[in-house]
Amino acid sequence: MNIYAVIMAGGVGSRFWPRSKKKTPKQLLKIIGEQTMIQETVARLNGIVKNENIYIITNKVQMAGVLTQLPVLPVKNIIEEPFGRNTAACIGLASVLIRKKDPDAVTIILPADHIIQGAEEFRKTLMQAVKFAEESDSIVTIGIPPSKPETGYGYIQIDENEVSDKIYKVITFAEKPNYATAVRFVESGDFFWNSGMFIHRTDVILNEMKELMPELYEGLMKITDAIGKDDYPEILKTVYGHLKNISIDYGIMENSQKVYLIKGTFMWSDVGSWEAVYEISKKDKDGNIKVGHVYTEMSNNSYVYSPNKFAAIIGVDDLIVINDGDALLICRRDKSQDVKKIVDYLKINKINDHL
């Protein structure tokens, strides 16, 4: 059995503005620790997936940054999407490329910008999922036991009867809920956070695409026929531009009868906002996190990032302060999800210097 990994690295991370921008998105930043998020994602695969079997799907703007940060991977494994078409097309493209190389491949699909603590437990979970996926016509997703009623995550409901050790049949996928619904999900005990990680044989996911997304599958077959030929770049660009812009959750997972969940008992966060960074970072006695030369007085429970310029806050609590380059963000921690509105504003007003 040959194990492959596909790391999806095309997002912008607009909730991480002003640090996260088009050329330096969230996954190419050091958020926590000494490595960037994508470097940590690759490192977690040590001992499971050979470097020559790790593929990165990114875009033209971020290509140079990915190549610079991941010299351990073959250059040909860094795949440039001609257009952003969401995760169904992304996973489909990776699957046909890998199947061309190895028809019996088992593939691990990972986002590039998640934080995981407990790498050994993570690897153990992956290997159990790989074994189950290889032996069955199934798609395995990793579900995270919810620690609180989080409204920023999707949820997955399971049948509580174990199919195998820590593996359960999925009943339904649920979108990000309101708070009352999230409370109900957590109290029920059979809902898990959707981590966005999937493990499957390439033939299984492509067969599900053929059944549930025939137009996508037809496009992927045109791309497959062109692999290795001179006109491949042009066909990829032409066909990919017409593929449906839809997530793998909507397109496949919510409709497939072959999806199973394995419980992930490691610490996981999709780090979807500055508030999430605050929650998982080490704090001082006042509950503050200070990156750079930062002075605080009568201030508590704040995250202040100012590595290149002295910053001070006095008499304020529960703030996010990001002082990066020529842009400054100040917001309440409980409003950190709204940071993406700044990016929308900059786009509408064509203020490209800050994008």
pLDDT at 238: 95
**Contacts for 161 with CB less than 8 Å, ≥ 6 apart:** 168, 169
Q: In the chain, which residue ranges form alpha helices assigned H by DSSP?
A: 37-43, 60-69, 86-101, 119-135, 179-188, 202-212, 214-226, 232-240, 248, 274-280, 340-348
Distance, in Å, from the CA atom of 199 to the CA atom of 51, rounded to the nearest integer, reads 18
Distance, in Å, from the CA atom of 155 to the CA atom of 190, rounded to the nearest integer, reads 10
- List the structure tokens of 260: 């199973």
Contact 152, 306 (CB under 8 A): no
Placement of tokens 């640090």 in the chain: 19
Q: How far is residue 30 CA from its own chain's centroid?
A: 15
Domains and CATH numbers, the chain: 3-269 (3.90.550.10), 274-354 (no CATH)
Distance, in Å, from the CA atom of 102 to the CA atom of 83, rounded to the nearest integer, reads 26
The predicted-structure confidence for 138-155, as pLDDT tens digits, reads as follows: 999 999 999 999 888 999
The predicted-structure confidence for 180-219, as pLDDT tens digits, reads as follows: 999 999 999 999 999 999 999 999 999 999 999 999 999 9
Q: Is the bond preceding 18 in cis, omega lying within 30 degrees of 0?
A: yes
pTM above 0.75, yes or no: yes
**Contacts for 8 with CB less than 8 Å, ≥ 6 apart:** 57, 87, 90, 91, 109, 110, 111, 112
Taking 70 as the pLDDT cut, the residues of the chain under it are none
How far from 180 is each of 155, 172, 189, CA to CA, in Å?
Answer: 14, 19, 15
